[in-house]
Amino acid sequence: MPGTYRHRQWVNNAAFAVTGFCALLTLGVLFFILGYVTMHGISSLSWNFFTKLPKPVGEPGGGMANAIVGTFKLIGLASVVGLPIGVLGGVYLAEYGKGNTTGFLVRYSADIINGVPSIVMGIFAYTVVVLPMRHFSALAGGVALGIMLIPIAVRSTEEFLRLVPMAIREAALALGLPRWKVILRVVIPTAMKGLLTGVLLDLSRVSGETAPLLFTAFGNRFWSSGWMNPISSLPVMIFTYAVSPYEDWHRQAWAAALVLLMIVLATNVGARVLMRNQVKVVA
Amino acid sequence: MMNTHCEERSDKAICRRLNRSPRSFRSLAMTSGLGDRLFKNLTLLFALSILAIAAAIAWELFKNSALSRHAFGWSFLTRQIWDPVAEDFGALPFIFGTLVSSALALLMAIPLGVGVAIFLAELAPRKVSTACAFLIELLAAIPSVVYGLIGVFVLVPFMRVYVQPFLIKTLGFLPLFRGPAYGVGMLTAAVILAIMIVPFITTISREIFLSVPIALKEAAMALGATHWEVVRLAVLPYSRSGIAGSVFLALGRALGETMAVTMVIGNRPEVMASLLAPGYTMAAVLANEFTEATSDLYVHTLIEIGLVLFAITILVNAVGRLILYKMSPYAEPH
């Protein structure tokens, strides 16, 4: 009997049971993924994985030492390319860019860059770095990842600087400090923890990216010296190994996935624990 | 203080009160003027470079697709042919695949994501809710290639053995569910995509649900509404535009998602009626064929696909941002 109190109670309970089921399902998927990758990853991990180079195609054994180092090199290069632009751009937005056209345009372009699919970012890096140099390089991969770092760095910097109370700036200004020193010596140190969180979350997001590296850093099976040569990275190795026909490569793909997941989640969780007592987290 | 207009006005007020001319203060300000100007211009330079990069991305994609744009014109978007040997290209199967897989993913992710958000905001105790929100955000942190790996080795066999035969048996009279069970295909890609975008919908929706004015809910309760009726009559209508905003952002993410989709969609450049058939997306064809493209025209064609993908995602994101901007002037980037 629709409309009766009993019926409405029943609908109430049923509806909330469905939402509870949704939550269980989603969390279940998360735990399944984490568990499955851990299970398959651990059984395939070995000391060789961290210390050896990949064996020639089709030969079992070997490791991914070069890809692990390559991933860190690429993230380092990306930080050098992207973080200064992101953080200083964020400082501009928070301190000088409120309510003016430049601020709006910059904020808007950061959002546009944030929405650009990662594979398209790869094409961009390909056209501006790979085409003029005529070969794939670590530099191109770093540029692609670096640009991807910018939007979140900008917006989180802006957000955390805004949280610094006006009274603190006014106190510093009243002591006769020029504005730039107020920003550098008072505002930024106050917001440091937040800025660090934003940067770490940003890095964790970008370090798992595969698509922008496919035709920029490309990958290779040896140690890659300098920044001008193609360089191997864990995400690209996972992709290559997963779609290959070799059983042993599949095994190594799981091991690589576990290592990559650990790197990404450790950074992500670390950043958010750092932040726990402060305001809500960006992204 | 943040606003130069205000600054001048308050300066004048101070001058008036101290009964001194503004000029006598200017010398005071000048001592720090150079450093301030330098610093401001330095940050401005970096800020403007963001603008320049956004413009450069659009320009590079446009410039480097010239050959293809001239060769095929607008019909590139509507032709269904992909022949690298004869160098005859049309992007329809990829555009179709991208749109259909994303739409299907939304169909699954919206009810799921909003359901989770309702549970977390309305039913779960605050501590549980915060912990769950934290975990669900982890889902968004998992790299897409790891989703792809799970897709290839877990989801594809599962779909092939259980889900697809079941769909063919029960709903096979519809053209949507015909054909052999390959495991890979449009539906499989959509399932992976749905899992990947649920966190976007849940995180934003939950925050909006939590911000619904308590008075609205109390009003509904005072009229005798059950808890669910409060959600349906007060919470959801109030949050409608916010949910829409989150859906657009999630859609933007789904459209451009590359690795996971590439690994499970089957990579066949054809428009097929069946959701079980293999398909192809714009992002996937770029990932698979870019390094293998030998001729200039082939490369330009792929870059034009990138341009189309870029245009679509920008449009979708712009709509989503606009909706969320309207709700709060400084919506977070998600």
Report the pLDDT averaged over residues A84-105.
92
Q: What is the end-to-end Cα distance of chain B in Å, rounded?
A: 29
- What superfamily in CATH does domain A48-274 come from? MetI-like (1.10.3720.10)
**pTM (two decimals):** 0.89
Whole-number mean pLDDT of chain B?
88
Strand, coil or helix: what is B172?
Answer: coil
Instruction: Give the model confidence (pLDDT) of B121-159 as tens digits.
Output: 999 999 999 999 999 999 999 999 999 999 999 999 999
The CATH class for the domain spanning B76-327 reads mainly alpha
Per the listing, tokens 């106190």 go with A171
What are the residues facing B83 on neighbouring strands? Answer: B88
Q: Which chain A residues touch B60 with a CB distance below 8 Å?
A: 123-124, 127-128
Listed residue (B315, B290, B281) closest to B100, CA to CA: B281
- pLDDT class for A220, splitting at 50, 70, 90? confident
The pLDDT score that the predictor gives to residue B14 is 57
CA distance B16 to chain A (A): 18
The pLDDT score that the predictor gives to residue A3 is 76
Q: Where are the domains of chain B?
A: 4-70, 76-327
Instruction: Give the model confidence (pLDDT) of B307-330 as tens digits.
Output: 999 999 999 988 888 888 777 644
Q: With a cut of 80, say whether residue B269 has pLDDT above it.
A: yes
The shortest CB-CB distance from B141 to any of A84, A204, A210 is to A204
C-beta atoms of B306 and A239 within 8 A: no
The pLDDT score that the predictor gives to residue B333 is 42
Q: With a cut of 60, say whether residue B20 has pLDDT above it.
A: no
Sign of CA dihedral B141, B144, B147, B149: negative
Q: With a cut of 60, say whether residue B187 has pLDDT above it.
A: yes
DSSP annotation of B82 reads: E
- pLDDT class for B4, splitting at 50, 70, 90? very low
Render B104-120 in DSSP notation, one character per residue.
HHHHHHHHHHHHHHHII
- Picking from B6, B25, B46, B50 by the largest number of A CB atoms within 10 A of its own CB, the best residue to mutate is B50
Q: With a cut of 60, say whether residue A282 has pLDDT above it.
A: no
Q: With a cut of 90, say whether residue B24 has pLDDT above it.
A: no
Higher pLDDT, A98 or B332: A98
Distance CA A212, CA B327 (A): 33
The pLDDT score that the predictor gives to residue A62 is 84
CB pairs A-B closer than 8 Å: 296
Listed in sequence order, the residues at least 6 apart from B155 whose beta carbon sits closer than 8 Å to its beta carbon are: B188, B191, B192, B264
Query: Which range has the worst mean pLDDT, A49-58, A272-281, B68-77?
Result: A272-281
The pLDDT score that the predictor gives to residue A218 is 87
Report the pLDDT averaged over residues B66-77.
94
Q: With a cut of 80, say whether residue A117 has pLDDT above it.
A: yes
Query: Which range has the worst mean pLDDT, A47-61, A63-77, B194-208?
Result: A47-61
Instruction: Give the model confidence (pLDDT) of A155-193 as tens digits.
Output: 999 999 999 999 999 999 999 899 999 999 999 999 998
Q: Is B138 near chain A, with CB under 8 Å? A: yes
CA distance A142 to chain B (A): 15
Distance CA B314, CA B56 (A): 15
Higher pLDDT, B32 or A109: A109
Q: With a cut of 60, say whether residue B61 has pLDDT above it.
A: yes
Tokens read off for A58: 């089709």
Inter-residue contact B278 to B184 (CB < 8 Å): yes
The pLDDT score that the predictor gives to residue B1 is 39
Tokens read off for B47: 């800020």
- pLDDT class for B178, splitting at 50, 70, 90? confident
Complex ipTM tops 0.90: yes
Inter-residue contact B216 to B236 (CB < 8 Å): no
C-beta atoms of A208 and B144 within 8 A: yes
Whole-number mean pLDDT of chain A?
91
Listed residue (B265, B107, B260) closest to B186, CA to CA: B265
Distance CA A272, CA A260 (A): 18
- pLDDT class for B208, splitting at 50, 70, 90? very high
The pLDDT score that the predictor gives to residue A9 is 93
Share of chain A above pLDDT 70, in %: 97
Measured CA angle at B138 (ends B158, B123), to 5 deg:
90
The shortest CB-CB distance from B226 to any of A12, A105, A169 is to A12
Instruction: Give the model confidence (pLDDT) of B211-255 as tens digits.
Output: 999 999 999 999 999 999 999 999 999 999 999 999 999 999 999
The pLDDT score that the predictor gives to residue A94 is 94
